[in-house]
Amino acid sequence: MQVKAAAGGRRHPAAMTTAERSILIIQGHPDPAGGRLCHALAAAYARGAEAAGHRVEMIDVAMLDPPLLRSQADFEDGQPPACIVPAQAAIRRASHLVIIFPLWLGTMPALLKGVFEQALRPGSAFAYRPDGGTERLLNGRSARIIVTMGMPAWVFSWIYLGHGVKVLSRNILGLCGIAPVRTSLFGAVKTASPARRRAWLDRVERLGRSAL
């Protein structure tokens, strides 16, 4: 089972108060060795969320190996692979998603995109309407996208217009009804001082406490 409760353990939704949220952290760095800034950011968010009493689950996409989708027929009518089924259930349980990944070639790594293609299928995340439109099946959920990158964050936002993140925010999450989607960008990570990295982790831990 690749979907796991974070260190504080899983709480039944019926035991949660109105102030508590069910949070799913999707750690999208594809390196199974771990030890990356993305892993530290995921742990910091989970730490803050659990300290505030939120229920936290985590998916490490590096531990998944779904096949690539190769046809529209498979996407629309095929069955998700066994490793994706728990992820679909975790997404449905969550009221807030936190998606963390490094920027590779201007967007998310291919493994993370492949996981989304397998998990967010018609009938699970959205449905086609007879009039040609779509029905959003994941309404009522919010999301936070956290991205690390080698370039300064302002360069990605202002010169490259943040297209790689907008694809996820608008075209994928928005299609399924997940809103609002907030974004945190951490740039120039290779040259960041230990103090700066610590400040990033503290900031993300505070986001976890607020479930934002």
Q: DSSP for 118-180?
A: HHS-BTTTEEE-TTS-EEESSTT-EEEEEEE-SS-HHIIIIISTTHHHHIIIIIIIHHHT---
The pLDDT value given to residue 5: 64
Alpha carbon distances (Å) from 186 to 80, 137, 147: 33, 31, 6
Flag whether pLDDT at 6 surpasses 70. Answer: no
| CA dihedral for 66, 170, 192, 208, sign (positive or negative) | negative
Mean pLDDT of 33-42: 97
Phi, psi of 202 (to 5 degrees): -65, -40
Please name the residues in contact with 133: beta carbons below 8 A apart, sequence gap of 6 or more.
none
Percentage of residues in the chain having pLDDT higher than 70:
92
Flag whether pLDDT at 57 surpasses 80. Answer: yes
Flag whether pLDDT at 59 surpasses 70. Answer: yes
Flag whether pLDDT at 130 surpasses 80. Answer: yes
Distance from C-alpha of 182 to C-alpha of 184, rounded to nearest angstrom = 7
Mean pLDDT of 5-11: 52
Flag whether pLDDT at 60 surpasses 70. Answer: yes
Flag whether pLDDT at 103 surpasses 80. Answer: yes
Does the predicted TM-score (pTM) go above 0.85?
yes
Q: Which residues form the domain of 149?
A: 3-210
Distance from C-alpha of 83 to C-alpha of 108, rounded to nearest angstrom = 20
Flag whether pLDDT at 12 surpasses 50. Answer: no
pLDDT digits (tens, 9 = 90+) for 72-89: 999 999 999 999 999 999
Q: DSSP for 30-99?
A: --TT--SHHHHHHHHHHHHHHHTT-EEEEEEGGG--PPPP--HHHHHHSPPPTTTHHHHHHHHH-SEEEE
The pLDDT value given to residue 52: 97
The pLDDT value given to residue 20: 85
Tell me the average pLDDT of the chain.
Answer: 92
Assign 19 a pLDDT band (cuts: 50, 70, 90).
confident
What DSSP element (H or E) covers 182?
Answer: strand 181-186
- Split into its structural domains, the chain has a count of 1
The pLDDT value given to residue 132: 85
pLDDT digits (tens, 9 = 90+) for 141-177: 999 999 999 999 999 999 999 999 999 999 999 999 9
Tell me, what CATH number does 191's domain have?
A: 3.40.50.360
Distance from C-alpha of 29 to C-alpha of 39, rounded to nearest angstrom = 8
